[in-house]
Amino acid sequence: MDTKYIELIQTALQRHNQLVQQSLETHSERLIELSMLLAKTFQENCKLLLCGNGGSAADAQHIAAEFVNRFKMERRPLPAIALTTDTSILTAIGNDYSFNEVFSKQVEALACPGDIVWGISTSGASANVIKAFEAAISKKAVIVGFVGKNKAAVEQLGGFAVDVPSSDTPRIQETHIFMAHLVCEMVEKIIFKKDG
């Protein structure tokens, strides 16, 4: 067996574990705060809109599915929409205007005051995610950004940033979905233990 691949696996696992642990040490309280905010949003009949590119688009869809269907509990569906899924809307906006506007136009159309717009960007600077945040502000929606080490753009817009201190895209994405799963589990406990 080629030991270089064993070393690759061990190094990746070590880095994954370090990043998850470091991110949770930094952001455990923030994730609890986010979970409470999401629970309040859903309880007030507001919704969650999610967006991202590439693997982060897949994560946006993944998180939306956890809320709409279920995470661990049998419970009523929660209103979450991934803005990454409608190819007719995405291609119409991208063709007629700009790919930078594929999420912001949807936020303008769908967001209401009190909703949450959750953007996922490993770089922290994806132009179409930042434009979605700007549209969210104009609609009086709350901004949540799951980013890599660059959280400046989210914070400058007054958003709720959860950053992973790395520039290694796969490790950032793994940490994002780990933290998002924790948020899904906490939201279920907050809402549905209260509801009985």
CB atoms within 10 A of CB 12: 14
Q: What is the pTM of this model?
A: 0.96
Strand order in the sheet with 160-163: 80-82, 48-52, 116-121, 142-147, 160-163
> In sequence order, which ranges of 97-168 are alpha helices (DSSP H)?
104-110, 127-138, 152-156
State the Cα–Cα distance between residues 69 and 139, nearest whole angstrom.
27
pLDDT at position 196: 53
Condensed to tens digits (0 to 9), the pLDDT of residues 119-164 reads 999 999 999 999 999 999 999 999 999 999 999 999 999 999 999 9
Q: At 156, which CATH number? A: 3.40.50.10490
The pLDDT of residue 85 is above 70 = yes
Beta strands 116-121; 160-163: pairing state: unpaired
- Give the pLDDT band (50/70/90) at residue 34: very high
Number of domains the chain is built from:
1
Which domain, by its residues, includes 107? 3-194
State the Cα–Cα distance between residues 148 and 126, nearest whole angstrom.
11
**Residue 33: both structure tokens together:** 């705060």
The pLDDT of residue 194 is above 70 = no
- Give the pLDDT band (50/70/90) at residue 115: very high
